[in-house]
Structure 1
């Protein structure tokens, strides 16, 4: 299986090719230098799915992920990919505020709540947007939902989480989406079969927790995929992951 540096170089090359073949519209959602998103349009009336990238809230930006857009655009779904500020220059709570602003900018543009999907840290943010009623549905790919296990790890050097903040920002402790509103109660948790046991546990536990409280949830284990190659199906218009994003409920 390729190492993550090789996979990321493939992301970068694929993104450059995607941007050349399908130039995005740049949309600003705030005044900050990174408060901007790329919109890859499938058509004027197409639904928009918002992708929130990973990097443990402390790395990468939208330019690494343009490659995910062509397959979805070919299936009639536009794709918005925002950048956001990174830790340690901002706190995680501020990054969540930027995710809200980006999703709300898309919602204002279309008049409908978008599907929000994301990888790793982006999976955390996607589920947060669903909890708050900003998304019509969420698909979290190798998401991090319970933040307390990060506290003793090296990842927390930049994040600076203590127990109180980690609990407050863990979507496992957030309200489930409001079932009285049409749509907005579907959460998919996809995870690589070769991920660490902790990633698999978090996806299974999140789906079980919200599923027990009335949310339509599912867990999909991508056989043979690790934390990086789990995104590979997004390049294939016929993959189950792309089909799910196309078919997952869209609501106003």
Structure 2
């Protein structure tokens, strides 16, 4: 076995340049997302805080929702907003779940700790709008943010954490210490103390919440490692975990399973009904 040594940490966490056609994202999501909003039963821009970006969209299924499904976007905590991802609500909606997608403030205007608190506030607010179990999903930096919700120091309120059933981290970042070695940290503003304090992999999970880490089989090695890492560590702490590398998927199309109610991803997270 040949040891894998990272010599270029920026390249290790760079997605677009290492994916054929990667420069076409996130623009490729704008049209489908806008079209989906136009045809959906949607409550847009619900305020969960005082800030301009403290808003979420809530998509409602036919009939009484089975529960609340949350999707938290990525963008390395520095970019994008909820408007790029509306089409991903299609799968959970078809299964009868209400779907919430929040925006949040970005680095360097706020810290990752503040972003985590904002996402918790958004989920707490939406939980007051929709009854039943809660399933969280997030992509990339969003994967970090949803796994932070199931740590023992979660910003979720007691009643909301009691409803939390399953967390799906898609290509998530769970140990932030490698970010210190990247140029991106000039914007993130992490030091070792804050990187450790905001790393779910260094914390204990809440009891009775299932974790699935999902990653594209064709992703950068660091994303594969980060995905397996959290499932491995938390399994040893008594959490029911599963790590799924999906073949022939890269960092940008690995989320597509959320659109299909019969996808392997949603069968794992929401069951086979």
Who is 1:36 aligned against? 55
Shift of 1:2: 4.5
Instruction: Name stretches of at least 5 consecutive residues in structure 2 with no aligned partner.
Output: 1-18
Q: Is the 8 A contact 1:77 1:246 kept in 2?
A: no
Q: Is the 8 A contact 2:66 2:132 kept in 1?
A: no
Q: Which has the larger radius of gyration?
A: 2
Instruction: Name stretches of at least 5 consecutive residues in structure 1 with no aligned partner.
Output: none
Q: Is the 8 A contact 1:191 1:220 kept in 2?
A: yes
Who is 2:242 aligned against? 218
Who is 2:85 aligned against? 65
Instruction: Return structure 1 stretches of 4+ with deviation > 6 angstroms.
Output: none
Shift of 1:136: 2.4
Deviations 1:153-198 (A, max 9, x none): 02211101011110011011112213xxxx4x20000001011111
Deviations 1:31-68 (A, max 9, x none): 11111100000133331111110001100000000010
Q: Is the 8 A contact 2:91 2:258 kept in 1?
A: yes
2:186 alignment partner, one of 145, 148, 157: 157
| TM-score w.r.t. length of structure 2 | 0.84
List aligned pairs for 1:44-83, cutoff 5 A: 44-83=64-103
1:208 alignment partner, one of 197, 213, 232: 232
| Corresponding pairs, count | 243
| TM-score w.r.t. length of structure 1 | 0.91
- CA RMSD, aligned part only? 1.6
1:25 alignment partner, one of 27, 32, 43: 43
Who is 1:145 aligned against? 174
Q: Is the 8 A contact 1:84 1:95 kept in 2?
A: yes
CA–CA distance in structure 2, aligned partners of residues 160 and 102 of structure 1: 24
Q: Is the 8 A contact 1:103 1:114 kept in 2?
A: no
Q: Which moved more, 1:198-207 or 1:227-236?
A: 227-236
